[in-house]
Structure 1
């Protein structure tokens, strides 16, 4: 997010009036912290002047306020999209509530509308830092501070917003400079590059040129040829052989790794980077700039904040490989990711140990049949089945061709049930097996079933023989460039067997780490590991080993979510380690801006810990998390207070991205025909008052979708029949729920109803309506995290299948949201006669069906 320096003014008024109310408590350095009045803080104060803008706290005495309050009126010179209003009160101050009002039409017309509110708990006051989410466009804001016989002293006030609720470029570039003028897309003739004396450089240019060509064809319906020159450098200057009209690609070693330069001017487009992946990032930026059918003249110089911007997932199941390839191409590259951590477990056939592969398959099939407990990581890796080496190599090569680094994760020491199931003789077990304990999963991850042996013995030489063979086979397939991730997390059982029980736990841990480290070093590779075992905050006795391990081991810290008040990296950074934020979930990770700035923090990775397919990623909020986290990893201007702005931006990006992940995307400006499908009359629609009011003031056309709100209603167990009588490629259901349904971690979503499409040939298509998947309660803001730490691994709900088409506010500033669930018709060639819609009585999360739109 780029910093905006808008023109405007602010003024202090008595609550609900136009009467000036200048502060009678002003604090600044000149009077050594004593309170006084400031004659400049009366009337309308231009931005940049007055006590508040000059960084001095301002306030009002309790007996000036009594139990009324003060309005801070902020007038902008034009409309902005307001994400949030952020206040900080001094320690001695407090307010009963904060309200924010908007006046979208400017400061001189219309009435104020409440767009946000924060209340104190009963019998208490709000103190300290206050963030009021907003999410509307406005030119004027009034921030109302309600007093309660206590002084109000404002230390800071910030309005967080953006010029538009849709980004020109996402993630936000480091530097963008727009110039007057535009370049018409039809003037582009070709994609051009100079062949290099280096074969690898030429390969980079050829691939990037082909990528640009494909993206122009996919997104714009434009087919540009590729031309190259064996001698002349390619530019868009009219003084060269190429007389303008080109997208010219060049490699420039002076540009930082993963960075790029993009220049649009009267001669065409110039793209430069020092690496293949930088050229691809630039190409995605260029595509984003084309959404308005012309290219604005501009200069963009961009580079990442974090060197490591990663995603962690297990080997996809065979049927999930096409989806994951699309995820790489249409999410990871546009969102500027550069690293894949690929967990193997037993999901690839091991030629040297067929017994491990056979055991993996059998154990997972027994678990699915209910014969045995769930096999650890079975669903996560290859769907519990086996991929052949050629399939894994093909997938890895596909990822690598974009310039992404693929780092294989080889679970070792802990999480090795895939080995010990076939080799129980090396398992680290006590002579008497301990009873399983059920943990409070709000505070800890449940250890795996003791039916399977979680750890192997670090003093059993056969453990090393096996793990070395596995490492060899994985390295042979992946051919990693620099690193192998060797696991080493959650080693719940250590020092139990006769070999180990008298040994120091830290010594055993260090021994195993060093043997892995040395084995990889012989192959010219370095090592990464999870670092929970090195944290003194955890229950393990291994943390003294942090003082003795090689400092070039890169540590992935994931137990931050058990200690949200602590910066756990501070336990390890002083030793000289490089640290990656492991399981870095944007929904929960605190103080990101401060923590990523520390020396030694080199990036983060978003973990999936689920089966790799579109439905599961959507269910767990992973696609949204990847897009949101991209801004954190890439942009130095990321501001955690701007969540509502980022959520609005992402909501605009997801519909296109969703079609790309489905493989059905069409060029940007291809016309779409829609039709509102009328719902049948209901004698008792029973809509919540807030929803009914929102519909009265809503246009019928929302984001290009047309609806008829006339018979919006609450569904019951008795189905309603919506007549259709046409062919449609998609159906959009605009809906919400009256209440929330439970979202249980790691469990299926709750089905609260069903839509049944009936075709003219008598066939049916059934559409489950699942809470937290394609529908949500009408009071929940889109993209709002599930803040309880219980939801750490799936912190977002209803962010992928549902688009926030209807967004309104109640009279007291609370949100009203309805999602448009876009169902893709698997049989667009068949005429649809009707759609049956019904709820169920298993919860009170009744479906509020507001309208249906058909897309031809």
Structure 2
């Protein structure tokens, strides 16, 4: 385990394992059919048939249905005290915007001294809100009914009152997040579902680790904070910074960072070119801020936004290890100066700390953080290549470095956090480890610090991120013993690189020094990466850390896939035409059918499928059978032959607002993590083919068909080894019989040229596509297996008359 990296661990422990878990998904398919019927014209779940446990995510500790729903109209008021606090105003305005932006009903906010119980109103506040006592009395509640646990809340939805009370500001804020999820539109009626809730979190540290977004993804990032992290009750954001903010004292680092990112990406490498003897370097993270840097004003604005949503921002500013950003223009400080892009500074050079602290100070002055994460993982220093470290105990240097940075931060009232792998010999090994480079050079890397060194050198108020909580197959490291060792050493810890399939979590969480956990994103902060890779990890972690209960993999996948239409709408900021428009009709594509239920060359035999018009929400699909054929199948030529045509054309002849394709892959493919191809992240999701949209004026645009992004295999409901969910398309069961596992995926493409007539669509399959590698290297993976895209139906949203 001595050379194991965080991302290799993530693959072994959870991220990849979760996406390949053996799950029979029939329960979701049945639920999906019911859900589709229960959706209204705005696409909001009616709640009529939803079980009470699924109304809110993560599930509340205590929830029951009240006698009446609270109907929303223009007579409803949101009431705040006459001396309302800034937080009272923020909550009220947030709810006004939530309801108004989605449904056009903008409620009025009234400042009042006393509650008018004859009026229908919404009241939200913490114990400092002077109106809460009156509402407690009116509802005959004890003030102790709201949880005294930090971040806990009480929520009651009655016929004439919506009441959200929190023991603190975070508590009422999370109560409002639950209220947002109770908003239902059905049959021209807008209301909050009637419930009584008492709720509080299991863990106090509920985080996500991610990269600072690039400028083009700031809007997405703000939606992610407001409509995902806050909505699902995360309270901590660890953000990797590097030189991705303009540094006034060291602008050369910004320039160097951009050159570093370009060199890695334009060389088509995950790791930088030119390492000494081609020795392994990793965690270059050149997609932080999309390979650029933000102005200080932009970073400050993000910090304000994060804080406003009750999330603590912890900047991760790596030092000692993974310090590429510090050394791009300061190579004289490198431990191994022969590297083209050094990643470890020399801790024996005092000038290293002058640079580190000047960079830290710029972030501290701007962000005023309570804590800073200093990195310090994966010390793969080739000891003999370092002119000043070759004869020095690296454990001593490592510990002295941590202590020096800790003391500098502590003098400013800032706590230190770091990755903990180098503190344990059980993780990094004992003493120096021998390695041979690709060119035959023999070198040694350091093992972990000795227990004596940790006791003597590492301050015990450091918060340790434990990413080695899972036993890697073949490893001698005992995962549970690792966290026990950190405990005995006197540290508090959180599980880093967390995934929701941790073994024995419900017992391990009882350790009093375990504060919580944080899943990680190790690729650029954008919707594509988060959507295809991280919904299971993020939402599963939210549930575990709030409820304290582990969701079984099949139940979690069911839950996540059912949530994705709403998640997708919030994260993209786009409401598709199928939600807002009334006229949606199927196209007759049967004259291009070329396949029946068997694709003999691929060994595929589909079960009996429906042959009627069926609906997903309000989108109709015409599942015709014509001359014994029921679909269009186009080959994906990879290893072996598909035996199918590579292209087919489908007549449209209309100017539509959007097209909805009902399609599936013949076989499972792969969607690897985006960090497998940092320079080409889109292609980490296997490209099976594309639709060419040909307009009557000759212009052609394309729609990629990517596995796990907008398509999965038809047998997704029963097979193993498949991607867990499809972020960009919705599952629709189309088997003729209830026990027939056949699922196709409805993907809506919005026409970028509204009013332009689409002459035809051409479905094409790829040839010899290579995506991401299973290994952590600098190359594409092998050619994918041959496959097919099966198109069952196409429907269109007509333009308004």
8 Å CA contact 1:756–1:766 kept in 2: the answer is yes
Compute the displacement of 1:262 (Å). Answer: 1.0
Question: Residue 192 of structure 2 corresponds to which residue in structure 1?
Answer: 295
8 Å CA contact 1:687–1:848 kept in 2: the answer is no
User: Distance between the aligned counterparts of 2:421 and 2:202, measured in 1?
Assistant: 25
Unaligned ranges ≥5, structure 2: 1-21, 32-48, 129-146, 273-282, 430-446, 625-629, 636-644, 678-682, 769-784
8 Å CA contact 1:751–1:769 kept in 2: the answer is yes
8 Å CA contact 1:205–1:276 kept in 2: the answer is no
Deviations 1:473-525 (A, max 9, x none): 01122221x21111111111175534333332222121111111111111111
Question: Residue 733 of structure 2 corresponds to which residue in structure 1?
Answer: 806
8 Å CA contact 2:660–2:747 kept in 1: the answer is yes
Instruction: Please tell me whether residue 835 in structure 1 is matched to residue 757 in structure 2.
Output: no
8 Å CA contact 2:208–2:238 kept in 1: the answer is yes
Compute the displacement of 1:138 (Å). Answer: 8.8
Compute the displacement of 1:839 (Å). Answer: 1.9
TM, length-normalised to structure 2: 0.76
State how 1:707-718 maps to structure 2 within 5 Å.
707-710=621-624, 711-716=630-635, 717-718=645-646
Q: Which of 576, 595, 615 is the equivalent residue of 2:508?
A: 595
Compute the displacement of 1:331 (Å). Answer: 1.0
Moved more, 402-411 or 243-252: 243-252
User: Distance between the aligned counterparts of 2:85 and 2:577, measured in 1?
Assistant: 29
Higher strand share: 1
SS at match of 1:657: helix
Question: Residue 250 of structure 1 corresponds to which residue in structure 2?
Answer: 125
Unaligned ranges ≥5, structure 1: 1-129, 140-161, 233-239, 434-449, 787-795
Which structure has the bigger radius of gyration? 1
State how 1:399-410 maps to structure 2 within 5 Å.
399-410=306-317
User: Distance between the aligned counterparts of 2:230 and 2:96, measured in 1?
Assistant: 15
Question: Residue 648 of structure 1 corresponds to which residue in structure 2?
Answer: 558
User: Distance between the aligned counterparts of 1:190 and 1:163, measured in 2?
Assistant: 28
Question: Residue 15 of structure 2 corresponds to which residue in structure 1?
Answer: none
Q: Which runs of 4+ in 1 moved over 6 A?
A: 130-133, 666-669, 782-786
User: Distance between the aligned counterparts of 1:359 and 1:398, measured in 2?
Assistant: 29
User: Distance between the aligned counterparts of 1:373 and 1:220, measured in 2?
Assistant: 45
Compute the displacement of 1:781 (Å). Answer: 4.1
User: Distance between the aligned counterparts of 2:716 and 2:319, measured in 1?
Assistant: 42
Q: Which of 516, 529, 541 is the equivalent residue of 2:448?
A: 541
8 Å CA contact 1:393–1:477 kept in 2: the answer is yes
SS at match of 2:609: helix
Compute the displacement of 1:228 (Å). Answer: 1.7
Q: 1:645 to 1:613 in 2, by over 3 A?
A: same
Question: Residue 283 of structure 1 corresponds to which residue in structure 2?
Answer: 176
Question: Residue 539 of structure 2 corresponds to which residue in structure 1?
Answer: 627
Q: Which of 336, 339, 347 is the equivalent residue of 1:458?
A: 347
8 Å CA contact 1:350–1:470 kept in 2: the answer is yes
Q: 1:203 to 1:775 in 2, by over 3 A?
A: same
Instruction: Please tell me whether residue 741 in structure 1 is matched to residue 669 in structure 2.
Output: yes
Compute the displacement of 1:357 (Å). Answer: 1.7
User: Distance between the aligned counterparts of 2:582 and 2:454, measured in 1?
Assistant: 59
Moved more, 555-564 or 312-321: 555-564
State how 1:203-602 maps to structure 2 within 5 Å.
203-229=86-112, 231-232=113-114, 240-241=115-116, 243-252=118-127, 255-291=148-184, 292=186, 293-370=190-267, 374-375=271-272, 377-429=284-336, 451-480=340-369, 482-493=370-381, 496=384, 497-535=386-424, 536-539=426-429, 540-544=447-451, 545-548=453-456, 549-561=458-470, 563=472, 566-567=479-480, 568-586=482-500, 588-602=501-515
SS at match of 1:572: helix
SS at match of 1:774: coil
Deviations 1:772-830 (A, max 9, x none): 322222223499887xxxxxxxxx5652112212265999x784332222223223333
Compute the displacement of 1:698 (Å). Answer: 7.6
Instruction: Please tell me whether residue 816 in structure 1 is matched to residue 742 in structure 2.
Output: yes
Instruction: Please tell me whether residue 176 in structure 1 is matched to residue 63 in structure 2.
Output: yes
Compute the displacement of 1:627 (Å). Answer: 2.4
Q: 1:337 to 1:805 in 2, by over 3 A?
A: same
SS at match of 1:226: strand
SS at match of 1:715: strand
Deviations 1:733-787 (A, max 9, x none): 221111233555513233221101223443222101122322222223499887x
Compute the displacement of 1:270 (Å). Answer: 0.8
Compute the displacement of 1:203 (Å). Answer: 0.7
Moved more, 604-613 or 365-374: 365-374
SS at match of 1:640: coil
Q: 1:407 to 1:504 in 2, by over 3 A?
A: same
CA RMSD of aligned residues (A): 3.1
8 Å CA contact 1:719–1:837 kept in 2: the answer is yes
Q: 1:183 to 1:718 in 2, by over 3 A?
A: same
Question: Residue 658 of structure 2 corresponds to which residue in structure 1?
Answer: 730
8 Å CA contact 2:587–2:795 kept in 1: the answer is yes
User: Distance between the aligned counterparts of 1:421 and 1:191, measured in 2?
Assistant: 54
Higher helix share: 2
Deviations 1:294-344 (A, max 9, x none): 334321111111211111111111111111111111111111111111111
Question: Residue 125 of structure 1 corresponds to which residue in structure 2?
Answer: none
Q: Which of 769, 793, 796 is the equivalent residue of 2:705?
A: 769
8 Å CA contact 1:187–1:245 kept in 2: the answer is no
SS at match of 2:79: strand
Deviations 1:197-231 (A, max 9, x none): xxxx70111111110111111233321011123x4
User: Distance between the aligned counterparts of 1:166 and 1:730, measured in 2?
Assistant: 34
